[in-house]
Chains A and B, each alone.
Chain A
Amino acid sequence: QQQVKQSPQSLIVQKGGISIINCAYENTAFDYFPWYQQFPGKGPALLIAIRPDVSEKKEGRFTISFNKSAKQFSLHIMDSQPGDSATYFCAASLDYGGSQGNLIFGKGTKLSVKP
Chain B
Amino acid sequence: EPEVTQTPSHQVTQMGQEVILRCVPISNHLYFYWYRQILGQKVEFLVSFYNNEISEKSEIFDDQFSVERPDGSNFTLKIRSTKLEDSAMYFCASSFDSDANTGELFFGEGSRLTVL
Contact = CB atoms under 8 A, between A and B. Distances in A.
A86 interface: no
Interface string A19-41: 00000000000011000100001
B44 interface: yes
Interface in B90-116: 91, 93, 95, 98-100, 103-110
A105 B31 contact: no
Interface stretch (B13-21, B48-56, B69-77, B80-88): B48-56
Given A99-B56, A102-B48, A105-B42, A43 B98 contact: no
A100 B98 contact: yes
A99 B45 CA distance: 11
Contact of A101 (B4, B42, B95, B109): B95
A76 interface: no
Contacts, number: 70
B99 A100 contact: yes
A85 B40 CA distance: 16
Contact of B4 (A31, A43, A103, A106): A43
B103 A43 contact: no
A60 interface: no
Interface in B1-18: 4
A32 B45 contact: no
Nearest to A4: B42
A89 B50 contact: no
A92 B15 CA distance: 34
A43 B43 CA distance: 10
Contacts of B110: 42-43
Interface in A73-89: 89
Nearest to A51: B100
Interface of B: 4, 31, 33, 35, 41-45, 48, 50, 55-56, 58, 91, 93, 95, 98-100, 103-110
Interface of A: 31-32, 36, 41-46, 49, 51, 89, 93, 95, 97-108
6 contacts: A49-B104, A89-B42, A93-B100, A101-B33, A102-B56, A107-B42
